[in-house]
Structure 1
Amino acid sequence: MVIKRIIYIGEENGSAIYYDTKSNTPLKADKSKLLNTQKSKNNYRYIIFIVISLFLLKGLGVLFPTIDPFTGKYTVATILFLLILWCGEVIFFTMLVYKALYKNVNTSTLANKKEFGYAIKNNNIWNLFKNKRVTNGKKLGVFFLIVSVVILTLGIAPMIYAINGQEKILGSSISSEVIVISLMGIMPFLCILLLWLNNPLRWLSVAEKYQNKLIKYGEKDEK
């Protein structure tokens, strides 16, 4: 996966703040409506659309039992349906978050120190820590978090294969666990989020540069 040159830092007064890793300068652009709490209420229509689609698929299964992937037992059709659902979850959430964070990045202009500092100090990543200083311990903790998510994601397929070998998933009855299984597409999305879209380790490195006054500002601070 290509490493992003421009990374999202936070928000400041209607603007999304970014950092250009090549030029070592902060940037700003108009904030996407998806980042606006008030205007983003309309985005629930996407979630409603997905839920309705799932009910329609189930309804088709009632009308046409031969194509219903949830016939009471795990079948090949069930597995194929789950795979399609996982792919859909990954694509949907990746596109949604990318649009929210980087929609107007191509029109970005230089940001000043005040705007950049505000975005860092009010980012949700920063709010996880009581001590607002970047330390090796914080970076190590975030690193292990990312590695854990990646390992868990890579372990999904071998885990399912092993369980099927021991308990024979195909042919067994479908119960409430299918709800959790159907949401496993969230795991690869989290990998994309943590590694590419909004890498907290890279964010901490930028925050450390800010604290050590190593950022180049191309615009004078506003008084």
Structure 2
Amino acid sequence: MRKIIFIGQNGINNIYLNTKTRKIYRKKSNRILDMDRTKNNSKHIIVILMSLLLIAWIMSITASHVKLQFSVYTRTTLFMIGIVWVIECISLIYIVEAAMYGGLKPSSRKYELSNNKQEFREAIMTNNFWNMFNDKKVTFLKKVIVSVLILVITLTALGMCMVFSPDRNIGLIDRKIGSEIFVISLAGFLQGIMVIMIWINNPLRWLIVVEKYQTRKLWRK
């Protein structure tokens, strides 16, 4: 787990907290990450996901009727899918890492130490994470929801790896290739989301920090 975590934005600055020393840092925000411009993206993401699921369902139904079968899954096919997954996963992680942290180390001079608690508060309140909920207060239920979300994504991402199993009853080896290959080929992004939610931008850690701030325990000695 990284020591310095992204809290949110305050104007043109990204605000961070060192979870060990509890010092606040700021850094000029990256153009890739703009909370104000993307504040409604959570709704768009839901629409996109539902659309992808609908397309996948339609393609599966179509395949079952027109017998859209190209060939069978071989070790070479699965190897190529694995390469695609690696590219998708690394690309997504790189973009998020560059947007939130810019690849900077905590010792970098581009991180400015800040003692402005108001900046920290504004960074919390403007974080798009709150778009998932009706209010901006940490509760036990919110932590449970986020924990379940992380668990589901992790189990799904790991479960997708079973397609590479040599067991023909579990994996895809020697099975006919159908429209499902389009969905399977995009699963690398799911692996990337899993890594991001656990190690790069863990929403549960963020909630715990915010809870300590809201209950005035963050800087209590």
Name whichever structure is richer in helix by fraction: 1
Instruction: Tell whether the 8 Å contact from 1:9 to 1:19 is kept in structure 2 after alignment.
Output: yes
> Structure 1, residues 135-182: CA drift from partner, whole Å, max 9, x if none?
1121122112111211222222336638x6238844443222111000
TM-score w.r.t. the length of structure 2 is 0.74
Q: Which residue of 2 aligns with 1:77?
A: 76
**Alignment counterpart, residue 177 of structure 1, candidates 180, 188, 193:** 180
Q: Is 2:209 the counterpart of 1:209?
A: no
SS of equivalent to 2:169 = helix
Q: Could you tell me how far apart the structure 1 residues matched to 2:171 and 2:127 are?
A: 46
- Note closer, same or farther for the CA distance 1:171–1:16 as it changes in structure 2 (3 Å cut): same
Helix, strand or coil: the match of 2:5? strand
**How does the TM-score come out when normalised to structure 1?**
0.73
2:203 to 197, 200, 204: 200
Tell me: CA distance 1:36–1:135, structure 2 relative to 1, closer, same or farther (3 Å). closer
Amino acid at match of 2:31: K
Aligned-pair RMSD on alpha carbons? 2.7
- Partner in structure 2 of residue 221 of structure 1: none
* Counterpart contact for 2:14–2:27, Cα < 8 Å: yes
> For residues 99 and 21 of structure 2, what CA distance do their matches in structure 1 show?
24
Partners of 1:109 and 1:146 in 2: CA distance: 31
Q: Is the 8 A contact 1:74 1:173 kept in 2?
A: yes
What letter corresponds to residue 137 of structure 1 in structure 2? L
Whose Rg is larger? Answer: 1
Number of paired residues?
184
Which residue does the alignment assign to 2:91?
92
Correspondent of 2:16 among 15, 18, 33: 18
Runs of 5+ unmatched residues, structure 2 = 39-68
How do residues 1-223 of structure 1 correspond to structure 2 at under 5 angstroms? 3-36=1-34, 72-103=71-102, 104=104, 106=108, 107-111=110-114, 112-158=116-162, 161=165, 165-166=168-169, 169-216=172-219
Structure 1 alignment gaps of length 5 or more: 41-69, 217-223
Instruction: Summarize the Cα distance change of 1:158–1:168 in structure 2 as closer, same or farther, 3 Å threshold.
Output: closer
